Amino acid sequence: MSAPQQTACTYRTLSRADLPAAHGLSAQLNWPHRLEDWELLHRIFKGFAACDGERLIGTAFACPQGAFATIGLVVVSPDYQGQGIGRQLMELALEACKPATAILNASAAGAPLYLSQGFVEFGTIEQRQGPAQSVAHEPLAAGEHGRSLNAQDQARQLALANAGSGLDRSAVFAQLHGTIEHSAGIECDAQLQAFALLRRAGRGHCIGPVIAQSPRQARHLIATLLARIPGQFVRIDVPQSSGLSEWLTLVGLEPVDRVTQMALGTPPQSTGGVHQFALLSQAMG
């Protein structure tokens, strides 16, 4: 049943008790998030809720990550769209981001709202997915060798993640380690130079982030993780500029969607010779 044209909507902080209803909202839009995915975001992000009485009808999250802050899961129930609720939730999220520069990944439906709020486009992310296939590993360079990560790698892993994304991943990675099923790293001269993570998310597994010095290293890391879950559903979100698109198609990870990277100011830049070849997630960047 449709809501009245203008709803007397109230806004408040999203609580843990709201998460089942929030999960139901994303399911209405055919988004793949599990309840566990919402719980992870709730531990990391500050969430906002739009309510019609006791009914949760919209959400938005903001997560400061150093000089930048990511905004994600801006969701409004289909029954209540077109009433400015998404705009109000965005205003709350933007206020929570300050003084950091807000960044987000916009769907085609959401992009006009964000453009009207001053966001500018700076890239495109391809969502790719399919059954994991065993593929030939990209040869490593002389002196490089691959291995799994361990607890002693966490400080170096965080430094690489920060450099590759341009974000401060400290708070995110503090919550993330317990969700990781498998990891892959590349070491040279006794120092970790690149890594990728595999965790459960959405309809199966997710690979990300992938932090590496080159597409060659990124392909090696992704192939290593795909070999861990033969035949199982896996998703990876990669920048269109990553140089991985053709190879991902060859290994059976087809493009199913694209979102636009947007920033309310100058976007983050990679440093230190490493780049982010796959996002942690569209919400977390």
pLDDT at 6 over 70: no
Query: What is the reported pLDDT for 29?
Result: 86
> What value does the mean pLDDT of the chain take?
93
pLDDT of amino acid 176: 87
The lowest-confidence range among 2-6, 91-95, 115-119, 127-131 is 2-6
Residues 6+ apart with CB under 8 A from 155: none
Evaluate whether 103 touches 263 at the Cβ level (below 8 Å).
Answer: yes
Residue bearing the bigger pLDDT, 3 or 216: 216
3-state secondary structure of 146: strand
What residues does each domain of the chain span?
Answer: 10-99, 127-278
Our CA dihedral for 74, 78, 81, 85, rounded to 10 degrees, sits at -40
**Domain covering 127-278, topology:** Aminopeptidase (3.40.630)
Give yes or no for a contact between 175 and 65, defined as CB atoms under 8 angstroms apart: no
pLDDT of residue 109: 84
Candidates 29, 70, 24, 66; CA nearest to 47 is: 70
The DSSP code for 240 is G
Q: For residue range 14-24, what is the model confidence (pLDDT) as tens digits?
A: 999 999 999 99
CATH of domain 10-99: 3.40.630.30
Kindly report the number of other CB atoms within 10 A of residue 238's CB atom: 26
Are the C-beta atoms of 103 and 69 separated by less than 8 Å? yes
* pLDDT above 80 (res 1): no
Judge if 10-99 and 127-278 fold alike in CATH terms.
yes
Share of the chain above pLDDT 90, in %: 85
pLDDT at 4 over 70: no
Comparing C-alpha atoms, which of 259, 281, 6, 267 is closest to residue 109?
Answer: 259
Is 188's pLDDT higher than 50?
A: yes
> Is the pLDDT assigned to residue 47 strictly greater than 80?
yes
| pLDDT higher than 90, residue 3 | no
3-class state of residue 190 by DSSP: coil
Which one-letter DSSP state was computed for residue 18?
Answer: G
Is this model's pTM higher than 0.85 or not? yes
Report residue 102 CA to chain centroid gap: 14
Phi, psi (rounded to 5 degrees) for 173: -70, -25
